[in-house]
Every structure is written in C-alpha cells, then in structure tokens.
Structure 1
Amino acid sequence: MNILLVYAHPEPVSLNGSLKDFAVKRLEDAGHIVQVSDLYAMQWKATLDAADSTNRQAGVRFNPSLDSKHAFENGLQSKDIAIEQEKLLWADAVILQFPLWWFSMPAILKGWVERVYAYGFAYGVGEHSDARWGDRYGEGMLAGKRAMLVVTTGGWESHYSPRGINGPINDILFPIQHGILYYPGFDVLPPFVVYRTGKIDDAGFANTCDALGQRLDSLWQTAPMPFRRQNAGDYDIPELTLRSDIAPDASGFSVHIA
C-alpha cells in the first residue's frame, strides 16, 4: 500500500523524530511504499495568501476561496501545493504526526491543510440540493482512503480523560479528525496518542514503539471511528442538523458518532 506520513516537528533528534523514523521503517519492512512530507525540513510556507496562485494580477482583491478554486481548476497553483495534492491522491493511507501544541496541531501543519485542501479538491465539491449538501463528511475526493493521527503530548493521560482538566482527548482532536480528515472523505482510525513525553525513558520508548508498531501493522484491519455520514439520512438537509429522533437528549461532538 502507499502511505503518506505528514510530519510536523522542528527537531529531528526528538521523540517525534525517532517515532517518525520507526514508523517509516516498520511500514517499509511490511512492504508498504512510504512518502514523508517533513514540513519543517521542507521549509513549508504556512500562510495561505495570494502568492499561492501563479497568475495573480497586482491590485486585484484576494479572495481565499475563489482564488483557490480558480488556481486549482486552471493549473495555476504554486508547485508545492500541487505536489502535496498529488501525494494525497497517490496515498492509500495518510498519517498526520505532530505534537499537541496549545490543544491543536502546530501552525505549520495547519498551514499545510489550509493551502493543500484547495477549493474543488478537498471542499466545494459535489451537488448542493435539498437531497444532499456536497460530497463531504464521509464522501469527497479522498473517500476510500484511511487516515490516522499520531500525537504526542506532555500531559498525563488522566489530564485528557472524560473528567480530566484538559477535556477528553477525542473532543480536543474532533476538529482535526472529523473536520480535517472525515470532511473530505477519509475513513478515520482512532488516534495513537503518546502521553507524558518528557518522562519517557528507554524502556518507555521501547514500549511506545511496540504499541505504535501494532497500530501500523493493523492499519487496514482497524475499524474506523463511526462518524455519521452527512448524506446518509441522519441529518436534515439543508439545515445540516442531526434529526430530532436521533439521540434526542444529547448534544455536542458525541452525537456525530453513531
């Protein structure tokens, strides 16, 4: 299988760097073909702006969505964006690996999403009508592919438990897993999270690699998170609210998981 690992950590000699190297070797030893987008090493441009189109006219008002659409449809995207889109289309599975910084991904990875997920590529696709509202949330250009997060954090696992001070880890990751991955069609696997990274010794690293290796070995057997499909009947369209007879006494992120 073809696997794209999008990696966002500035220090190669780090826990994240070691886990990335381990993951690549484990996957390649299993016969997979792996590409790595090492965003810091690539000096990835994080800001979405008018320079993302190769045919911008000076003095013309910049519209992020419409300019993205025009550039994508007419082959006018900057080369770095087009290359990453080709990697996504090539991949059977995508792994996003990053440290949890301020309850989200590093800015460079968010910038990768903002620029690579062009209008017409990752959003703004499909029919919009009273029956469906675009190809998204379970459908889209990336449907049929798998995705998984590999996340490290300095906090204790209990800090991210259902009653933990930081909030449940799947709530914190919901905008990434549901919004960034499921939205354009990925089947999203449960995340692999490493806690208390500052306290990991050699034995802890070995145990972490063993656990990560098992997750990588079962990349195609692990059941994806059961997010509700937007156009499968659970939501009223065009309001895009969950039907009143489904989980009527519940609200929040959890209602979007079957």
Structure 2
Amino acid sequence: MAGKKVLIIYAHPEPGSFNAALKNVAVDELSKQGCVVTVTDLYAANFEPRTTRKDIAGALCDPEHFNYGVAAHHAYKDGRLSCDIVAEQQKVCEADLLLFQFPMYWYSMPAIMKGWMDRIFCQGFAFDFPGFFDDGLLKGKRAILSLTTGGTAEMFSSTGVNGDIRRFLWPIQHGTLHFCGCQILAPQVSFAPDTSSQEERTKMVEAWTQRLATIWQEEPIVCEAPWYFGQ
C-alpha cells in the first residue's frame, strides 16, 4: 500500500522490551509495503501527559475559571495551542492509520499515552458537537491497538479471572477512538510475553508480522456494545 501514512504512538520506557520489538516489526513491515511510517515515542520524547494552562498560548478564554476542555477548544480555533500539541495533531491529520503500541497497565493504557489522547484529541480537532462517533472529525482514519498483557489468554477469556479483554478496551476503542470518528480494527493482543517461552514470544512477533502484511485489507469491527459485552 505505497503512499499510505501510518502514525505509531508508542509507550514503553525500555528500548529492549517486547513492546519495542512489536513496534520495530510494525515499522519494518509497513515500510516494506511502501508506507510512510512516523513514530511518536512518548517516553523518549519525555512527552508531557498533564493537561495544564501551559497548553494554551496567550490569555485564557475564562481566566477566572480554568476549564481545560473549553480553553483548549478556544485555543485550537484561535491557533493558540502549544507547539508540541500542534506537532502531534499534524501527524494525526496526515495519517491513514493510527497504531497504538503499549503494555496494559491496570486494565488500561499507560498514563503517558492517556495524556497524549487527553491533550491531542481536543474539541474542534478530533470531535465536536455535532461531530462525534461516526461523524467524528477523524472520520476516514483507521485505528488499531497492539498491546501486551501480564495475564494469559485464559485469564482474559470470558470465563477467566479477569473476564473478556474486550470489556477493558471499550473506553479506549469506543469511548475515545470511535468517538473521534476512527474506524476500529480488531486489537492485536500479545498475552503474557514476560512469562512466555522464547519460542512463544517469537510466534507472537510472527503473528503480528503476518497480520500487518494484509492490514489494509481488513474490515473494521462493528464498534458497538455487543462486540465488547456480548448480546
């Protein structure tokens, strides 16, 4: 798929980690296809995850009461968001596919990645009212989560101690990415790499590589409650 643009948002502090290996495989495979791949390495960039007044240049729309969402919306419309936010938003604008690579922390994503979404996906840029879910402002883009877990696949099954892993992805896939208009591809979950054998880890990497080879032909999931919670 020559000419397609991919933005990988990567969150892991260790360059030698399994997450890093999955990220590197994605860069290599997608680049071989002729895609233009950009990586935002959140830890390497020392990305600021907090939403603060520093995100807005100049005067606040309501200096007496700081409401981040409202202030960021006004700043976006006026072209007064901080340069790091603007740089990431430009990458998102150019991307056909957003790929999030991260380890699951407490049934969610690392705080630094959550902060990236909080700051980058502001009103006016990623969504508006109206302009959300199927009409979100990122409509036409695809998004996929590639994540690792501490628990095994059995632990994250419908009968396992944690329950079906799809339940934990509802806030990220549906509540954030789909809300902003993205079409969601089924997640790539690498279960328990830290406690797996080298052979098992190799198979996980190979499975990801094989999937990436045909990623552009995949149909998005129906990103509604039944996919996550059953009928």
Q: Name the TM-score class by shorter chain.
A: over 0.9
Q: Which residue of 2 aligns with 1:24?
A: 27
Aligned residues: 226
The 8 Å contact of residues 50 and 56 in structure 1, kept in 2 or not, is answered as no
The 8 Å contact of residues 11 and 42 in structure 2, kept in 1 or not, is answered as yes
Q: Which residue of 2 aligns with 1:70?
A: 74
The 8 Å contact of residues 152 and 191 in structure 2, kept in 1 or not, is answered as yes
Take 2:223 and 2:167, find their aligned partners in 1: how far apart are those partners?
A: 13
**Which protein, 1 or 2, shows the higher relative CO under an 8 Å CA cutoff with sep ≥ 6?**
2
Deviation at 1:199, TM superposition (A): 2.1
Deviation at 1:200, TM superposition (A): 3.0
Deviation at 1:59, TM superposition (A): 5.8
Q: CA offsets per residue over residues 181-233 of structure 1, 9 Å max, x none?
A: 111111100000001111233322321121101221122111111125xxxxx
The 8 Å contact of residues 10 and 40 in structure 1, kept in 2 or not, is answered as yes
The correspondence for 1:81, drawn from 68, 82, 85, is 85
Q: Which residue of 2 aligns with 1:11?
A: 14
Take 1:60 and 1:42, find their aligned partners in 2: how far apart are those partners?
A: 33
Deviation at 1:124, TM superposition (A): 2.1
The 8 Å contact of residues 153 and 194 in structure 1, kept in 2 or not, is answered as yes
Q: What code does the residue aligned with 1:37 have?
A: T
Take 1:62 and 1:177, find their aligned partners in 2: how far apart are those partners?
A: 28
Q: Which residue of 2 aligns with 1:113?
A: 117
Alpha-carbon RMSD: 1.8
Q: Which residue of 1 aligns with 2:210?
A: 214
Q: Which residue of 2 aligns with 1:91?
A: 95
Look up the SS of the partner of 1:185 in the other structure.
coil
Q: Which residue of 2 aligns with 1:35?
A: 38
Take 2:179 and 2:201, find their aligned partners in 1: how far apart are those partners?
A: 33
The 8 Å contact of residues 192 and 212 in structure 1, kept in 2 or not, is answered as yes
Take 1:172 and 1:255, find their aligned partners in 2: how far apart are those partners?
A: 12
The correspondence for 2:172, drawn from 176, 191, 201, is 176
TM-score, normalised to structure 1's length? 0.83
Take 1:60 and 1:73, find their aligned partners in 2: how far apart are those partners?
A: 20
State which drifts further: 208-217 or 149-158. 208-217
Contiguous gaps of at least 5 residues in structure 2: none
Q: Which residue of 2 aligns with 1:254?
A: 226
TM-score, normalised to structure 2's length? 0.92
Look up the SS of the partner of 2:133 in the other structure.
coil
Q: What code does the residue aligned with 1:62 have?
A: F
Take 1:163 and 1:204, find their aligned partners in 2: how far apart are those partners?
A: 23
State which drifts further: 164-173 or 100-109. 164-173
The correspondence for 1:155, drawn from 139, 142, 151, is 151
Take 2:89 and 2:138, find their aligned partners in 1: how far apart are those partners?
A: 10
The 8 Å contact of residues 154 and 160 in structure 2, kept in 1 or not, is answered as yes
Take 2:227 and 2:194, find their aligned partners in 1: how far apart are those partners?
A: 35
Contiguous gaps of at least 5 residues in structure 1: 126-133, 229-252
Q: CA offsets per residue over residues 120-165 of structure 1, 9 Å max, x none?
A: 112224xxxxxxxx22112221111111000101101011111211
Deviation at 1:255, TM superposition (A): 7.4
Q: What code does the residue aligned with 2:42 have?
A: L
Larger radius of gyration: 1
The correspondence for 1:146, drawn from 139, 142, 148, is 142
